[in-house]
Amino acid sequence: MKKMFKGLLITMLAGSLLAGCGNNAGNTGSTNEGASSGGEAKSVKLKMFIAQPRFKEHYDKYIADFVAKEKAEKNIDVTVQLEMPTADNAAQILKTRLASNDAPDIFALHAINEIPSYYKAGYLEDLSDQPFVGKLLESVKPSVTTTDGKVVALPLETLSWGYLYNKKIFADLGLTPPTTLTEMKAVVEKLKANNVTPFVLSYKEAWIPQLVLPLAAGAIINTTNPDFIERMNKDEGSFTEMKSMFDIFDLINANGTEKATEVGGDDGAAAFAAGKGAMWLQGPWYAETILKSNPDLDFGVAPLPINDDPKATLINLSASTSLAVSKTTKNKEVALDFMNYVLDDTASNGFFQALKFNPLATVHTYESYPWVNDATAYVKEGKSYQDPAIPQAVKDEVGKGLQAYYAGQISQDDVLKALDKSWASYNKVNK
């Protein structure tokens, strides 16, 4: 499902994945709309926009295999331009492209937070009749299905998350994941007494500190405030009702590694892999990066305590990164071919496993990872909730706000007021 900094946009051509004539490489549409009688190949330039730059190597390889398949089976020369911005920049860049009729053929979006508004705006192609739809697990399909029953995206990541913890450190000190905020404070004190930094902090990218919001909101909504989302959508609620999220956020910040605003996700993963902190406010989507730094690290997933009600200590269930096809694509045939290749009966197993993503289709036969099993155990005990439907614009705002709050530039009340204003602005546009 969490990157703020004014970084340069990472634009990558997918390994010069050309399988066609060089004089057609700059064409955004297709040429030679069908193979000629002489067998001349059709050339297509496919633009993809996926905000997961840490997975570039895996996407490059999978795209190259797809290009070869299209050439062999359909005599189509496909050139893929893969743009991979950071998550902090991606949403705004994509919205600008879509609004200016410069949409990528295929683009990634967040299933829960973005599909409703993108579908309402008319940006998403209806994929309901595509072969991949029949392969999706029934538990996953609703996350990419609109209220009128259309499947408009292909899920890549399904998530069961809370925070990550170093199992060896916990075991060596006789610790278990805490079930209340008071217990978390005790864990923190024991870690410090044994010269272990409790938390890795990595707030350079705004989407990371904002993770505390869906965790806190999900816990509170599912215990004491069930109609919060509904009332916010009617301009009848306020984030002052979520102010208790600062209790856990302040505890984390007071007991973490230094220079958090200078540390991004990849550096945070390396620090966690090296044992520089026992816990990390992060999800298992960073598993591949963590294990690349330390293949032997034994880490787990646990629900984050928000308050002293153990019933509020819950795992967040979510479908995040998903792929959609632009309604305006001029390369619909090839775009749909790629979408179906993502859940190819054989090739997708290796792709999803390499990315450390959860199995989400009937064709996925690889075993779940240990950290997935950790989270699943909580889910089976009823200790989970569906990711709250908080607008992406609000999540972006809380990320920036919490960065500024961590730096001592604004107060808790300033953050909450900004969130109320952001949701109200969202309502004006989406009513």
Give me the domains of the chain, ranges plus CATH numbers.
11-157+320-357 (3.40.190.10), 160-317+377-430 (3.40.190.10)
pLDDT one-digit tens code per residue, 58-86: 999 999 999 999 999 999 999 999 999 98
Closest to 304 measured CA to CA, from 383, 189, 398: 383
Which 3 state secondary structure label does DSSP give 265? helix
pLDDT one-digit tens code per residue, 21-64: 333 333 334 444 444 334 677 999 999 999 999 899 999 999 99
Judged against a pLDDT cut of 60, whether residue 10 lies above it is answered with no
User: CA-CA distance, 419 to 71, in Å (whole number)?
Assistant: 49
CB atoms within 10 A of CB 102: 12
Task: Give the E-state strand segments of 377-431 in sequence order.
Answer: 384-386
Closest to 385 measured CA to CA, from 243, 216, 262: 216
CB 167 within 8 A of CB 374: no
Q: Give helix 332-342 / helix 347-355 axis angle, nearest 10°.
A: 70
Reported pTM? 0.74
Task: Give the E-state strand segments of 333-427 in sequence order.
Answer: 384-386
Residue 397 DSSP one-character state? H
Question: What is the distance, to the nearest Å, from the Cα of residue 73 to the centroid of all Cα atoms in its chain?
Answer: 33
Q: Is 46 exposed, middle or buried (0-12, 13-18, 19+ CB in 10 A)?
A: buried
Identify the pLDDT of residue 158: 86
Confidence band, pLDDT 50/70/90 cuts, at residue 138: confident
User: What is the secondary structure of 101-125 as a DSSP string?
Assistant: T---SEEEEEHHHHHHHHHHTT-B-
In degrees and rounded to multiples of 5, residue 81 shows phi and psi of -105, 110
Q: Are strands 321-325 and 154-155 parallel, antiparallel or unpaired?
A: antiparallel
Identify the pLDDT of residue 38: 45
Cα torsion for 387, 388, 394, 395, to the nearest 10°?
-20
Higher pLDDT: 333 or 395? It is: 333
CB 271 within 8 A of CB 265: no
